[in-house]
Homo-oligomer: A and B are copies of this chain.
Amino acid sequence: MSSITVQKVAKLAGVSAATVSRCLHSPHLVREATLQKVRQVMRENNYIYNIMAADFSRRRSSAVGVIIPTPAASAFAQTLVGIQEATFERNAPLFVGSTHYRPELERGLLRQCLEHRLGGVLMAGFDPSNADLVRELQANGIACVILWEKPDDPLLHCVGIDNYQSVRNALDYLFSIGHRRIAAVLGPLETSNRTRHRLQAYRDALESRGIPYDPELVLFKGPFLLPGKEAVTRLLSLREAPTAIFAGSDLTAVSIISELKGRGVRVPEDISICGFDDNEVSAYLTPPLTSVRVPSAKMGRLGMSFLLELPADFDRLPPRRLLLDTEFVIRRSCAPPVDGTGAPFQS
């Protein structure tokens, strides 16, 4: 019930509440004897520090928030790990929320961060429609660092990757081994700048080779992790099926491969697949997956470091914007396409 408070400790130790507070946070300001006495009283009465009261008093939460699409995607889980590494010594409490790619959920989470007066927020991307709220957070002294992409708003801090270039690289590779008809199974389009950038890269890559953009070849999945069935059904029912599929994540790639195998389509002999994220098990799949390696954990770690180092007047400084390198990892899920007659295609 009525737990021991700073006031009561003060009374029991024969000092003032201010002194007790100093024992807690600036022990060097307190005489050794006093310190010992206060600590003894705390121990004897099993004093439990009340973070709620402290945060309230400081008018700012000691916790920071993290908003990711979902922890089920290994790439974001890794980001979370990196974030926790960075909070390790400082051990700031961490609020974690998932949007599941639904803008209204994201909005709710941002709202919560605001109402909680959090110390800062890390976001693995955000829906453009919520840009206003992100700005409001900043305006209220809650720093935001965007991960996984480079936000359009040049005033936002970020530790991202170059989604555009990463996809260009992947497609250049597919072109180089002879593919011309390449499908893309991407994330949700409207709710993610990442996906927008990736789509643009896909379109530009085609254009650079003089290949017309065929909207039938581009699928945007909803907030589901394993959209293979639907994607494969649609792609295989086209008049002319693709010879390669670029997937927006390794998990998507896995589910596509599984579905293709189920229908007797061989990978990579009949259709090539390229993933994204380079999941830790992707090298062990059948076939080992060609993918874009993303430094997920590092992004989280650096993003959190940024956040923790940010001074109180962060909005007066130029934002820190960092893009980390991705690496295209070639394994065995992509092969040159075969033309209609079954002969290997020569580019």
Residues of A bordering B, CB below 8 Å? 3, 48-53, 55-56, 59, 61, 63, 70-72, 74, 77-78, 80-81, 84, 91, 93-98, 108, 112, 114-117, 140, 225-226, 251, 254, 257-258, 279-281, 283-286
A94 to B63, CA, bound (A): 11
Most buried by B among A50, A77, A225, A283: A77
- Given known pairs A51-B115, A63-B95, the reply for A286 and B283 (CB within 8 Å) is no
Within 8 Å CB of A72, what residues of B? Answer: 74, 77-78, 80-81
A81 to B74, CA, bound (A): 12
Within 8 Å CB of A94, what residues of B? Answer: 95-97
Copies of this chain assembled into the complex: 2
8 cross-chain CB contacts under 8 A:
A3-B140, A52-B52, A56-B56, A74-B74, A74-B77, A93-B97, A93-B112, A95-B96
A77 to B74, CA, bound (A): 8
Question: Is the beta-carbon distance between A50 and B254 smaller than 8 angstroms?
Answer: no
How many whole Å from A303's CB to the nearest CB in chain B?
A: 16
Contact of A251 among B56, B254, B281, B283 (CB under 8 A): B281
How many whole Å from A12's CB to the nearest CB in chain B?
A: 20
Question: Is the beta-carbon distance between A95 and B97 smaller than 8 angstroms?
Answer: no
A140 to B284, CA, bound (A): 48
Within 8 Å CB of A114, what residues of B? Answer: 48
Within 8 Å CB of A93, what residues of B? Answer: 95, 97, 112, 116
Q: Which residue of B lies closest to A81 (CB)?
A: B72
Most buried by B among A61, A94, A226, A284: A284
Question: Is the beta-carbon distance between A254 and B284 smaller than 8 angstroms?
Answer: yes
A140 to B49, CA, bound (A): 13
Question: Is the beta-carbon distance between A117 and B52 smaller than 8 angstroms?
Answer: yes
A252 to B66, CA, bound (A): 28
Contact of A61 among B52, B91, B281 (CB under 8 A): B52
How many whole Å from A8's CB to the nearest CB in chain B?
A: 15
Most buried by B among A52, A94, A98, A284: A52
How many whole Å from A227's CB to the nearest CB in chain B?
A: 13
Question: Is the beta-carbon distance between B52 and A56 smaller than 8 angstroms?
Answer: yes
